[in-house]
Each structure stands twice: as C-alpha cells, then as structure tokens.
Structure 1
C-alpha cells in the first residue's frame, strides 16, 4: 500500500457498501484519496464512517436510475470540488440458471443491475471530467463474459467491456482514461444485502453450484481470488502509475480471461 498514491485526488466509488467496492473505497482513503462512498444500501454511511476521516463521505443513491447517477456526481462535485476518479462497482448476477429457464423480467433485471449503473455513471461524470480537462474511469467488469448459468449477466459485462473500449477511444484526446478490471470468482464475507432478494430454490442452488464448479475449474490456479487480490489491481488502474493504460480490460481471474 502506498499512503500517498492518491493524495489530492477525489474518487467516487459506487457499490461501496460491501464486497470489492467497500475494500476499494477504504483502501483509497488510506492511500490519500478523498472518497465518496456510494450505494443504495443506507448502511454505506456506516462503511464510510469506518474510514475515520474527514476525507470520507457517503451518499445513498440508486444507480439503476439515471437520476441516481446524476445526483451522485453533483453531490461529489459540491462536496469535494472536483471528480478525478470514478470506480464503477455496482453489479452482480442476481440469478444463476440455464438461459432457457430465465423469464423475460429476469433478463431485464440482470441488464439493469450490471450494465445500466455503469453506463449511467459514465455519462453523468463526463461533464465534470471534461470541464476540468482530465479524469480516470475504472469499470468493474467480470471474466463471466464466458461462463455457464448466467447468460444475461455475461451479456451485461460484455457491454461494460465494449463501453470501456469505446469511451477510451472517444475521450482519450480529452485526457480522460477509461479502463476496466474483470474479476473472476472472489471469496468475500456474506452479503448484508442478498443478490437475489426473493431467495433461491433448491434447484437454483444446484445450478449455482454448477457455476461455482465451472468458475473454479476454469482458472489456472484452481481457486477463487481474495478481496485483496481484486482491490490492488483496481487501484493500480485508477492511479497515475497506469497513466499510459486506457481502453484495456484487465482480467484478474487466475488465468481464466473470460
């Protein structure tokens, strides 16, 4: 950890209430950033308080809506004066089942959860970055662009990858970098908010087990990653150490690049 790496930088982290997003936001504070912790779960305020720093603030917003993204960026600008880095961490498969078993409403929900928050947040932050003449966006994708039992989620993350590359090409001349990290399976504490609020049937649990087996066996290292193994590459991509990297999607998945 480099305690000065983000000194003077303002970072917005979405999905900061738990999992990878929480870890990224807390470590960024420790490395000198001013951080807005954003989530629709109201306990994001508790997470921001863990930083014990005046440079940490929390904002509750639903990033599945454009208004949520726009209000987030406006709050960050008003609170900190600028936005140097955006980490788009909202997303995650809701259901795991064979594609033929998905209902149309389920497909829509997966796209809304794992594509639209990133698309909306990128759009909402651009005016601020363009006005200040620089910025960095790190999108959290997934190596699940190739995998079983989650085709709609795979499609959403494929969209994140395409968006990353196209935005990087379009806005590189404006000194705005856009990159993505694509985590593989990651060990994490139990979620305080379940991915599927309606719960999983025994059949769905079995399908999920098949997905977990595929994810593990597809990696060269034959194991899940740790939170620390995901957080470090994300913050590297966000830092000035990666100043000549844009349009790249970095697989952090034990060799399974998706």
Structure 2
C-alpha cells in the first residue's frame, strides 16, 4: 500500500519506541521522512536502513528556532512538506511529593507541551509559506484525560496536547490544515519498561482490556491512517489507540 506516496513528513522522537515504528510505516507506504531526534547514533542507524527516503537532523524540540529550522529543512530536502508528527515525549514515574520542580515538572513540560506547541506553530507557518494545506498529528496519551499515580506532569502535559489539538484545528482549518492526535494506552516501549523496575509490569499489563500490551507497530498503523487522505474527515480530536484502557475499571475477575 502506497497511500503516502509523494508525501513528506517531519517526525520528532523518531529513533525509539513508537517513533521508530512510525518512521518505518511511513516509508513503507511511500512517504519521505525527515527523522528528528537527539540521538546522533539512532539517526545514523535510521539513515543507513532507509537511504534516500529519509533525511535526519538533531533537534531540541524545546527550542523554537531549531523546530522552525527542521520544517524548512524538510521542504528544502524533499521539495515541500505535507505532514508534521509531534511525537517526542518524556516521562519518569515518580510520586508527586518527591518531585524536583525543575526536572520533574519544567523539564517534562518543556518537551511534551512546549515541543508540541512549537511543532504546531512552525509546521503551520511552513504550510502557509508553501501556500498549501497539511496535516499535523500530535502524540497524546490516555493519561491526557485520566488521573494516575506517579505521572502527574506527564498527564498534565498530555491534557494540554489534547487541547492544543482542538484549538489549532479550529484556527488552522480555514487554511486547509488538519490537526488531530493519537492517544496510545499501554504500549511496550522503553518508556513503559520503567514500571518493570517498580514491580508493576504484570499489574499494568492486566489493566489492558485484553490483558496484553499494545505493540509500537500497532500505533504506527493508526498514525499512518490518520495522516493519510483516507482520514480527511478526522479533525480536531484525539483518537484513542488504547485497547479500551480508559473505558473500564481494573477487572475483578480473570488472570
């Protein structure tokens, strides 16, 4: 399937977990990708695997000038820009009363919230410069609309992503720019593996509706659909890809 044939995407957080699977999926469907990450080693590996379909750049998404620069670079390298995927995100499970305000609130907020805001703003400005529409896809989380222990700042930042998605879609719609978000649930990624160290791995697995973790490639499949023309009627909303996690209480029965 080549439903992204000729489409050019910028993808942040491209070298690990969900981001890496999104990159692979975009390329497999005919897309060109500017892969963005802080890991030079990871970007080199991505480039070696995908060749001319991928360009790479190290960018700190908390720096607006760098974010704007990556949009211009994608357009220069591939001729235009069609898709922006604001996927970079961080989070470490920690009790609220143990927080260091700088590291555990400001640091996470800078990446998860400010980074998405910068991506929306710079991406939309690039579309305007081109005189085209485009698609902006933000990675949210089920935790954007539900409370949980140990993840105070992460939840707050993802709730902000959901609202930025709505507001941006409303303002940018007349310019032909579509904005939506995907909210993964419990996905087997290095970020989630931190719960294994806390002895909570089996517990959080059982909280899934089918009591198994979602795989990163399953989220990538959803993302590829959402940024394609097939999803043209999906706008201003967050699509849950969570195996129903947010819809039920932890089962009393079952293994």
Q: State the number of aligned residues.
A: 242
What corresponds to 2:10 in structure 1?
Answer: 12
TM-score, with normalisation over the residues of structure 2? 0.88
> Which of the numbers 208, 218, 221 marks the counterpart of 2:207?
218
Cα deviation, residue 158, structure 1: 0.5
- Mapped to 1, the partners of 2:228 and 2:166 lie a distance apart of 18
- Mapped to 2, the partners of 1:219 and 1:235 lie a distance apart of 23
Q: What RMSD, in angstroms, separates the aligned Cα atoms of the two structures?
A: 2.2
What corresponds to 1:245 in structure 2?
Answer: 234
4+ runs deviating over 6 angstroms: none
- Superposed, which structure 2 residues align to 1:46-195 within 5 Å? 46-52=45-51, 54-93=52-91, 95-105=92-102, 106-131=104-129, 132-145=131-144, 146=146, 147-188=148-189, 190=190
TM-score, with normalisation over the residues of structure 1? 0.87
What corresponds to 2:252 in structure 1?
Answer: none
Cα deviation, residue 218, structure 1: 3.4
- Mapped to 2, the partners of 1:108 and 1:253 lie a distance apart of 27
Secondary structure of 2:5's partner?
Answer: coil
Secondary structure of 1:166's partner?
Answer: helix
Asked if the contact 2:186–2:208 (Cα under 8 Å) also holds between the matched residues in 1, the reply is no
Cα deviation, residue 205, structure 1: 4.1
> Which of the numbers 217, 220, 234 marks the counterpart of 1:231?
220
Unpaired runs of 5+ residues, structure 1, are none
Asked if the contact 1:38–1:59 (Cα under 8 Å) also holds between the matched residues in 2, the reply is yes
Asked if the contact 2:25–2:221 (Cα under 8 Å) also holds between the matched residues in 1, the reply is no
